[in-house]
Amino acid sequence: MTSGKRAVLGIDAAWGEKNPSGVALVREDANGWSCLAVAGSHREFGRNVFSRETKTLDELVQAAASDLGASLVLLTVDMPLSHRIIDKRREADNAITRNFSKNWCPCHSPQGDRPEKVSRRLYDMAKDAGFALHTTADHSAEKTLLEVYPHAALLRLLRLDKRLEYKVSRSRQLFPGASVEERKEKHLAAFQRVVGALSQKIAGIPAFLPKSHKDVKSFAALKSVEDALDALVCAWVGVEYLEGRAEPFGDGSAAIWVPKPHSLCASTW
């Protein structure tokens, strides 16, 4: 993993300190980009990739920076990040809402210390590891930290006009009247659609999706699969950024990066 090729670590960061965060690692090779690992929690990812449990996101960043330091150039995180304290709604949130509300993808507002406490710790740890938060078109740091938003990214990946309905926490609202088994199958179908599209961009994605609802013990287990999927989407946004196919929404203090529409990338898709 230290071949010198560029690598991207995608993190679907939990807003609470005790909740697990999905993680995915992709790396550039002679034929493009491939997935080295994906997991529904940072603890599981640490065990699988670093042969030790990473109990917090801090430990994950430290392990990635030291064990993959020669090739890890980008951290992409689904969590509000800013050069300033996050104690209110940001221009980044407003910009995403203005541009994507028509697609049912507005941004949630930060509330109190959610996610400021976790966000600030991750920001500081990334900075200590040499990663600089990128918020504008001008950026010269060798190691970069980006805030991303899977809902908006999936619009661009799948060429959708409306938000993909896949979130496990909204299962009953998304599929009213459906049985437990039917809802699980609908979620898995959405997950498979995303993985299928990502497989066209990133090779070697591990078979981490359950084959059917019979393999899903609970919605909590399904949520872990969703977290892994979101982390993989985060990593893909990083690939698009490195290839010059992503754009920022926000200002100098904070920005959310989203892949450009296909029409703006016709020569490179």
pLDDT of residue 83: 95
Query: Token match 């990083």: residue?
Result: 238
pLDDT of residue 139: 65
CA separation for the pair 215, 172 (Å, rounded): 20
pLDDT of residue 56: 75
Share the mean pLDDT of the chain.
Answer: 88
Q: How confident is the model at residue 248 (pLDDT cuts 50, 70, 90)?
A: very high
pLDDT of residue 111: 75
Query: Does pLDDT of 180 surpass 70?
Result: yes
> For residue range 4-61, what is the model confidence (pLDDT) as tens digits?
588 999 999 887 666 788 999 999 988 899 999 999 988 888 888 887 777 777 777 7
pLDDT of residue 243: 93
pLDDT above 70 coverage of the chain, percent: 91
Secondary structure of the chain in HEC code, one letter for each residue = CCCCCCEEEEEECCCCCCCCCEEEEEEEECCEEEEEEEECCHHHHHHHHHCCCCCCHHHHHHHHHHHCCCCEEEEEECCCCCCCCCCCCCHHHHHHHHHHHHHCCCCCCCECCECHHHHHHHHHHHHHCCCEECCCCCCCCCCEEEEECHHHHHHHHHCCCCCCCCCHHHHHHHCCCCCHHHHHHHHHHHHHHHHHHHCCCCECCCCCCCCCHHHCCCHHHHHHHHHHHHHHHHHHHHHHHHCCCEEEEECCCCEEEEECCHHHCCCCC
Q: Find all residues with CB under 8 Å of 30, minimum gap 6, and list them.
A: none
Query: Does pLDDT of 123 surpass 50?
Result: yes
Per-residue pLDDT, averaged over 179-199, amounts to: 96
Q: Of 115-119, 135-139, 190-194, 260-264, which one has max mean pLDDT?
A: 190-194
> For residue range 190-212, what is the model confidence (pLDDT) as tens digits?
999 999 999 999 999 999 999 99
pLDDT of residue 15: 74
pTM: 0.91
Q: Which domains does the chain have, with CATH numbers?
A: 7-158+203-208+231-258 (3.30.420)
> For residue range 73-104, what is the model confidence (pLDDT) as tens digits?
999 999 999 999 998 899 999 999 999 999 99
Q: How confident is the model at residue 267 (pLDDT cuts 50, 70, 90)?
A: very low
